[in-house]
Structures are given as structure tokens and as C-alpha cells.
Structure 1
Amino acid sequence: MSEYSAIVLAAGEGTRLRPLTQNRPKPMLPAATKPILEHVFDQLIDAGISKFVVVVGYRCDRVQSYFGSTYRNVPITYVTQKKQLGTGHAVLAAESEVDDTCLVINGDQIVDSRIVADTIARHDSAAAATIALLQRPNVEPYGGVRIGEDDVATEIVENPRDGYGYYLNAGVYMLEPAAFDAVRSAEPSFGEHHLFEGLSKLIDSGETVRGTVSEGLWVDATYPWDLLDVSFELFDRGVVTSSPVISGRETTVHDEAIIRDPIILDQDCAIGPDAVVGPYVCLGENTTVGANAVLERSVVDDDTTIGANATVVDCVTGTGVEIGPGSTIPGGPGDVRVGDTVYEDEALGAVLADRVTDRGGVTYVPGALVGPETEIQSGATIRGTLAGGTEVRS
């Protein structure tokens, strides 16, 4: 099999995932105990990709400092998209770093290596581009593709609402030089160049754009509560193996703690006596769960402390969070406001962004979103959305 480079699109913020993305881009948010982008790299390597060209932008330092110049012996070249002007703009920014045929993939969605491998295998020089497709009941939030004879794409639509039968665009593409030219010449929409518009131009001009229908894991986090579903899907699909103790690492689980699988712990974690942890819990590096605490269905990022006798259910934390003793996050469902829209009955207890501190005895109303650097005094009740840097008194 030929060796290919992959352009990995990792420049966006992920505004609908605020407040978790106020300090880092969406690709660096946790899926289980490691960033989404790391899962993407793993799947690309498993599919045989030999070089990464990573397009970074928003908080690019978080990506570059984490991965450096190589990942699992695969070299990484970084290209900076100074203004996020669409996926097409990002692809063109990386064009000079790849030779001829290359793969393009979104860096903020986890895609099974089988999908990548199927796309590579189906592509040939008769097509200017090949798109990975999935059968999904609802493609409206994403992109849709219709195909005809010999899997030739006949239409590419973003957020289709016309009722036709579309396959889901999985965000994995094999591109020939002609595809770059089409993206370059396509008219921008609202000041942005989109990859799908360039591919649509190829179709309209009579060039062959092929779709290949594949199977395998494909998960995306659009809203904060989706990070729970993404991590749980990784458990259920066997991508993440339940492991309360990682061999050779300083992780301590007290003999009287109760562990309910599935659960995964990173290094330097500690779980105290009579704590109940799991099911569906991901603990990042250097996290602590105090005595008699209850932790269920949650993704807890690095350097977080959950105090004694606290209850935490359906929760996503950023890094450096402190949940004080006796605090209660009872779990969803709850109503969550994202921008001007309220999403009702979502399975979310609370989101606590980086370095939130509660002093104990705090009660969180389901659906609460707490911005970074917020300090909450003992006995307070938290509901709705709190901006970062807020001080809440009881």
C-alpha cells in the first residue's frame, strides 16, 4: 500500500463547547483520558498514514506543546491558519506541505481506522476526490452526500433539510491536486472557503468525485454533554479498555473503595476509602476522589480533586477543578443554554471549566455551566450559566 500524508484540520475553537474551549481548542478536549486529536492520530497510524500535516489556529500552543514534532514516530508538521476562514482555507494553507495525493481529516471527530483505510483503498487516479460516507438516520446537523452509479457523488450538501436520502459525510477525504484547484477557485460563502464547496464545483464541472460507504466508529462532540457520550461510546466499542489501575504508574485505589466498571484511570490518581467510582468514569492524570465520594458517568480532567462525601454524576470538568467536600452534582436531565438556544432534558449534571473552585457543600442544578477561574463559596446553589472569573457567595 502506498504511503500517504494526512492533513489534519485542528484550527477551530468549538464555540458551542464553551466554556470548556475558552482555554484550548476542541481537538484538545478529553475523550476518555486523552485528547480527541490523539485518538485521531492513533486511528490514522493504524490505517497506515506516514506523515501528519496539522493545521492549527485557535490556541495552537496547546496542540504543539502536547504533541511536539512527532507522535508514535510519525513526523508532524504544523501549519498555522491565523484566521479560521473555513475548511477549504485550512486545506489550502497546508497544500505546500503535501505531495500530490493526500488524505484530509477533521481533527475534532473520532473516526475509526477502518473508515480511513476504506477511503484510501477505494480512491484511484480516475477520481479527483473520494469521500468517506456513513449510513446514519439523521445527517442534518452535518453534511450529506448523494451518490449514483459506481459510487460517484452527485450532490454534496451542508446541513441538508430537503428530505432526500443522503449519506453522512464522515469528514475523511482523499484529494488529488485538481481538488485543491477547485477549492481555490470556488466562491467563498460569507467570507469563508469550505472544502465541500470546492468538491461541489468538481462535480458541477464533470470531474469524478467518488463516495465510499464504510462502517466503523464515528463520534463527534458538538455540545458539552456530548463529551460524556463520546467517552462512553469509546468504552462500549472497545476503543478504551476499562482499567482501574494502569500498570507501572503511581495510581492508588483504596482497598475499601468500590469500583464499578467501566472505568479508566490515568497515572497518579488516588481513590479514597469507601468512595464509589463508576460506572462510566474517566479520571485524568493526577486526580483525587476523596473518602465516601460518589462519582458516576463523568469525565474528569487532569489535576482535579473531588472532596470527601461529594456526589458527582453526569459531570464534565476541565483541568485543575476542585469540587469541595459534600458538594452535590446530582446528574441530569437538565436544561442547558448554549448561546441563545435552550436544550431541554439533556443528560448533564454540570460542566465545570478549568480551575473552578468550590469550597464545599455546593449544590448544582442539572445543566449548570460554570466558566473558568470561578470561585464558589460554601453552601451556594449554582444554576444556569456562570461567566468565567465569577465569585459566587452563598
Structure 2
Amino acid sequence: MQAVVLAAGKGTRLRPLTDDKPKVLVEVNGKPLIEDVFENLIACGASEFILVVGYKKEQIIDRYGDDYKGVPITYAHQREQLGLAHAILQAEPYVDDDFMLMLGDNVFRGNLADVVNRQTEERADAAFLVEEVPYEEASRYGVLDTNEYGEITEVVEKPDDPPSNLVMTGFYTFTSEIFHACHLVQPSDRGEYELPDAIDLLIQSGRTIDAIRLDGWRIDVGFPEDRDRAEERVSEAENAMTEQGEEVVVED
């Protein structure tokens, strides 16, 4: 499955870390954010990366060129940062079939493959990895309502009064129907073309959208303190794996 990675943002909230580099090249535990994204997508079977770039895009293109660990990279240029729905449309000419979508500023450790399996095996129109957060934090994200079958019935972008504390995490699978919905989206009060608005159009048209709960953890690296927190979690996870390896005893 192809994988679209959104990596065009300026990362203004991450300053000064992004003064001289695009957000996705900010390092977490010695590795650029985007490489963590690449590794997760490779583990999910990515056949091609379609990388939507914008701010300081030359640094990304010069660094990774035509492939990452043998997986080809195609670059799509978002000349103005006008929201996630607008960013997705920049990838439309290069997408052939169902695809994965990941935001380039998230660090994941968890069950991403479950989302891909739901898309490929059960032929959902879309599937999202979701998680519960404290209610006071929910207004930072796209907030979901679901029915008794786990299907998403409503998505609200950064609401003042969240209908739930279940939020989108930044990893999705879609069919090509998402492009039609993105074309129909109107600018929000923020002046952006919002992905949740496109998803709501899919829901209203009767499409089946499944929510898969995150089994693991995820950090949205939006502020410098988030980067520090991600470094701590990644370091802890790597140390734990090392310790487990040292405890293995091979018997003759």
C-alpha cells in the first residue's frame, strides 16, 4: 500500500527548533521525526512514500533523495499551507489505490498494522487509529463520536466543547473517496481546509469508517516540551528492549 506523509508544515510552535529546518527534521533521540514515520510505515508494508513537502523542502529532498531504505519516494509540493485536506489533495495525482496517511510530526509505538489490516481485509472506506485523552486536552485534536459497532459517526475539529475524549492520532487509511471529499470542503473559520470536514462528508454519504484504538503510545510533537517527552519515551523503550535482549539465555 502507498503511504502519504504530510511534511510541509513550518512548525512555528516548535521554534527555536525549526528556525533553520523543517519540522520533520527535528530530531528525537538522535533521529529525525520523519525517519521514525518512515520506519513505522515500512513495518506496515509501505510500497512507496508520497511525501507532501513545503517549508524548507530542499533540506528534505537533499537528505532523502529518491528512496528511503529501498522504498521509493515521490515528492508533492504544497506551496501554501492551507490545512490537512488541502495537503492531501497535493498527493492525489500520485495515489493509485487505497493508501496510508501519516502526519509527519507524530512518534508512534503501537498497533498501526491493525488499521491497515482493517482496510485491506474488511474493505472499510477508511480506518483511523484513535486514542482517549484527558477531556481538557481533547480540544487540541479532531474529536470523534462512534456508534456501538466502533464506526465513526462524527468528527469535530478542535471543538471548544468536545463531544468525547476520543481523538484522531494522525494515522489513517483511506480509499480514493477521500479526495472527492477534500475537493468539496470549504475553508473553516481558521481559513483552512480541514480534514475532519472531509471525513464528515464521507460519513454523511454513508461510507463506513472504523476506529481502531491505539494499543501503545503516541506523542504529537507540537512544542519543544513534546520533543523532550518523546525523547524520554523512545529512550526508555530502547533501553527496555536492550535489557530484554541481555536477559535472554541461550542453552546448548
Q: TM-score, normalised to structure 2's length?
A: 0.88
Distance 2:142 2:99 in 1: 21
Aligned to 2:28: 31
Aligned to 1:119: 115
SS of 2:238's partner is coil
In structure 2, give the amino acid aligned to 1:27.
V
Distance 2:53 2:240 in 1: 26
Distance 2:84 2:5 in 1: 10
Kept in 1, the 8 Å contact 2:157–2:194? The answer is no
My pick for the range that moved more, 4-13 or 190-199, is 190-199
Q: How many residues align?
A: 239
Distance 2:225 2:214 in 1: 27
Q: How much does 1:141 deviate?
A: 1.7
Q: How much does 1:240 deviate?
A: 8.9
Kept in 2, the 8 Å contact 1:234–1:240? The answer is no
Distance 1:147 1:21, change over 3 A: same
Distance 1:157 1:31, change over 3 A: same
Distance 1:141 1:240, change over 3 A: farther
SS of 1:105's partner is strand
Distance 2:182 2:211 in 1: 18
My pick for the range that moved more, 13-22 or 202-211, is 202-211
Which consecutive residues of structure 1, in runs of 5 or more, have no partner in the other structure?
A: 243-394
Aligned to 1:10: 7
| Structure number having the greater helix percentage | 2
SS of 1:58's partner is coil
Aligned to 2:170: 171
Distance 2:233 2:128 in 1: 24
Distance 1:155 1:61 in 2: 38
SS of 1:237's partner is helix
Q: What are the within-5 Å matches in structure 2 for residues 290-329 of structure 1? A: none
In structure 1, give the amino acid aligned to 2:153.
T
Distance 2:105 2:111 in 1: 16
Q: How much does 1:88 deviate?
A: 0.7
User: In the alignment, is residue 52 of structure 1 matched against residue 49 of structure 2?
Assistant: yes
Distance 2:186 2:111 in 1: 30
Distance 1:38 1:239 in 2: 19
Q: State the Cα RMSD in Å.
A: 2.0
Kept in 1, the 8 Å contact 2:139–2:161? The answer is no
Aligned to 1:66: 63
Distance 1:159 1:234, change over 3 A: same
| Structure number having the greater strand percentage | 1
Q: How much does 1:195 deviate?
A: 1.5
Q: What are the within-5 Å matches in structure 2 for residues 264-303 of structure 1? A: none
Q: How much does 1:78 deviate?
A: 0.7
Distance 1:228 1:240, change over 3 A: farther
Q: How much does 1:165 deviate?
A: 2.3
Distance 1:235 1:170, change over 3 A: same
Which structure would you say has the larger RCO, counting Cα contacts within 8 Å and 6 or more residues apart?
Answer: 2
Distance 1:193 1:239, change over 3 A: farther
User: In the alignment, is residue 144 of structure 1 matched against residue 143 of structure 2?
Assistant: yes
In structure 2, give the amino acid aligned to 1:130.
A
Kept in 1, the 8 Å contact 2:144–2:154? The answer is yes
Q: Which residue of the other structure, out of 85, 90, 93, is the alignment partner of 1:93? A: 90
Q: Which residue of the other structure, out of 79, 98, 105, is the alignment partner of 1:108? A: 105
Who wins on radius of gyration, i.e. which is larger? 1
Distance 2:117 2:185 in 1: 28
Q: How much does 1:110 deviate?
A: 1.2
Which consecutive residues of structure 2, in runs of 5 or more, have no partner in the other structure?
A: 243-252
